[in-house]
Amino acid sequence: MASCPYSATTAPFDDLTELDAVGAPVDLDEARSWLEMFFAETQPRGDLEQRWRAIEADVEATGTYAHTFEELEWGARVAWRQSVRCIGRARWQSLVVRDARTADTIDEIAAELADHLRFATNAGRIRSTITVFRQDGPAGPRVRVANEQLIRYAGYAEPDGTVLGDPRYVDFTALLDSYGWQHPSPPSAFDVLPWLIETEQEMPRVVEVPGGTVLEVPVTHPGLPWFAELDLRWHAVPVISNMRLRIGGIDYSCAPFNGFYLVDEIATRNFGDVDRYHQLPAIAARMGLDTTSTSNFWQLRAAVELNTAVLHSFRTAGVRIEEPVAESALFSEFVKREEAAGRRAYGDWSWINGHIGSTFGRAWHRYYDTDEPNPNFWLDPAARELSNGHPSSDPLTLF
């Protein structure tokens, strides 16, 4: 019976009663090449062939195998190292890996997510962190967080066609409403969305983000006092929660991870984009710029002040953040080190250089290898749709 786990009337994962039975067995070639990489890069104690025999035997008997903590830790770090869209990968070896593979219930999962936020936020000295939940079974995920990120702001469609809050999440906010979310009243432009969590045994359920776990920074400008009147704020930590981590043939559909922000993710994109908070016209008007023509670079000039304000606000608040030219130089160092180590320099040029002032950065001046080998992070279409508020109708095709 294929039914939608996101309609409140059906049990989740109806078909997945035999998750530990042999289904589609793990790809042994992928497992083997991962293991060789792990041994070559980390020189762990123990013998490769002995570990391989154990993996083969497990796959033969059950269709799958489990990573040791060391394999999981290294695999998650390599997945970051090979993520083509991330400019911050120089820090890949510092990733803190939290092993939550024994968390089973929605309550246990929510407690882990809250612990992740507290640990990663670290009062502003943000730590790059991933929390890995149960690996997928042969028929799919056993744990799922529907949200795109652990911290996002609600979007409310107003009768006059405008949106209060983040327009990106209007449909997801409506989905949460259909699951009984009681949003703050009156609603504001920065209401933190609750989590929508589902497990193999439990129906999808809305869980509020516990109070005190979300650090936010109000936006002010070092030289323009009126900036505070825009009433902008943003959360300190971006925790991506809808991507699948794949290591050695094993999928972890629930493995939320975070780094810290590059300023223009918040300023240029989240605040500046026309289909997000759309602040550039108001800022340009305050700056006295003519917005009727693009020939005076009013968008760019407003965006520079907005980036200045966000960077200043985060730094004044003691919250870790980076600016693009420095980050671009650091990325180029990373690329140099990768190539010196005999590895390929993976990267999607448009993402690496998609920030304000990108031509001033060193990363702009060459192309990168666009292959995406595993270990890596994947955004599956169904997971993306779900986090956009559009669940698939069939649980077996969700991932």
Q: How far is the CB of 260 from ligand ARG (least distance, A)?
A: 6
Q: Cα–Cα distances in Å, from 101 out to 68, 136, 255, 264? A: 11, 11, 10, 34
For ligand ARG, the closer CB: 30 or 265: 265
Half-sphere exposure of 360 (CA within 13 A, CB side): 8
Nearest 10 degrees: CA dihedral of 334, 339, 340, 342? 130
For ligand ARG, the closer CB: 128 or 332: 128
CA angle at 173 for the pair 170 and 178, rounded to the nearest 5°: 125
For ligand ARG, the closer CB: 261 or 298: 261
For ligand ARG, the closer CB: 204 or 238: 238
Q: How far is the CB of 253 from ligand ARG (least distance, A)?
A: 18
Q: How far apart are CA 257 and CA 255, in angstroms?
A: 6
Q: Which of 298, 219, 234 is nearest to 266 (CA)?
A: 234
For ligand ARG, the closer CB: 116 or 205: 116
For ligand ARG, the closer CB: 83 or 220: 83
Buried b (16+ CB within 10 A) or exposed e, 308-339: bbbbbbbbeeebbbbbbbebbebbbebbeebe
Query: 234 with 140: CB under 8 angstroms?
Result: no
Half-sphere exposure of 384 (CA within 13 A, CB side): 4
Q: State the amino acid at position 241 in one-letter form.
A: S
Q: How far is the CB of 152 from ligand ARG (least distance, A)?
A: 8
Q: How far is the CB of 85 from ligand ARG (least distance, A)?
A: 9
Query: 294 with 281: CB under 8 angstroms?
Result: no
Q: How far is the CB of 2 from ligand ARG (least distance, A)?
A: 33
Q: How far is the CB of 277 from ligand ARG (least distance, A)?
A: 11
Q: How far is the CB of 32 from ligand ARG (least distance, A)?
A: 31
For residue 71, what are its two tokens?
């394999």
What 3-state class would DSSP assign to 244?
A: strand
For ligand ARG, the closer CB: 64 or 149: 149
For ligand ARG, the closer CB: 238 or 375: 238
- Scanning the chain, the segments in alpha helix (DSSP H) are 28-42, 48-62, 69-81, 106-121, 170-178, 263-264, 280-286, 298-316, 324-340, 349-352, 381-387
For ligand ARG, the closer CB: 117 or 266: 266
Q: How far is the CB of 238 from ligand ARG (least distance, A)?
A: 4
Got the DSSP string for 120-184?
Answer: HHGGGS---EEEE-PPPBTTB-SEEE-SSBSS-B-EEE-TTS-EEE-GGGHHHHHHHHHTT----
Contacts of 342 (CB under 8 A, 6+ apart): none
Q: Which of 358, 318, 266 is nearest to 123 (CA)?
A: 318
For ligand ARG, the closer CB: 79 or 240: 240
| Binding region for ligand ARG (CB under 6 A) | 88, 149, 238, 240, 259, 261-262, 265-266, 270
Q: State the amino acid at position 229 in one-letter form.
A: E
Q: How far is the CB of 270 from ligand ARG (least distance, A)?
A: 5
Residue with CB nearest ligand ARG? Answer: 259
Q: How far is the CB of 258 from ligand ARG (least distance, A)?
A: 6
